[in-house]
């Protein structure tokens, strides 16, 4: 006859095995994501994978449309 203490010990060993199994496979899943994330971050910051590297020069352009402020009266900083 098996005592309750032995059954509890067997149950704990079985649970420990499953927790180790789940932790191992979750870690493997996360490590593949982190590796992909790291490689893409390096590519975004250093452009070592893509072919359209523009010889180290970066040009930033943006069209800016300003409102016509002629004819407005100054209110001394207060808005009405």
Q: Which domain holds residue 31?
A: 1-47
Q: How many domains does the chain have?
A: 1
Q: Is residue 12 in some structural domain?
A: yes
Q: Rounded to two decimals, what is the model's pTM?
A: 0.46
Closest of 48, 30, 28 to residue 39, by C-alpha: 48
Q: Is residue 34 in some structural domain?
A: yes
Q: Is residue 43 in some structural domain?
A: yes
Q: Is residue 77 in some structural domain?
A: no
Q: Is residue 58 in some structural domain?
A: no
pLDDT tens per residue across span 6-51: 888 898 999 999 999 999 999 999 999 999 999 888 888 876 666 5
Q: Is residue 52 in some structural domain?
A: no
Both tokens assigned to 26 = 């979750």
Q: Which residues of 14-27 are buried (b: 16+ CB within 10 A; e: fewer)?
A: eeeeeeeeeeeeee
């Amino acid at each position: 006859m098996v005592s309750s203490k032995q059954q509890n010990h067997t149950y704990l060993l079985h649970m420990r095995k499953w927790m180790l199994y789940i932790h191992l496979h979750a870690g493997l899943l996360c490590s593949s994501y982190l590796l992909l994330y790291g490689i893409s971050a390096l590519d975004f910051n250093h452009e070592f994978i893509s072919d359209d590297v523009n010889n180290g020069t970066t040009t930033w352009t943006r069209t800016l449309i300003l409102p016509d402020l002629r004819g407005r009266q100054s209110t001394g900083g207060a808005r009405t």
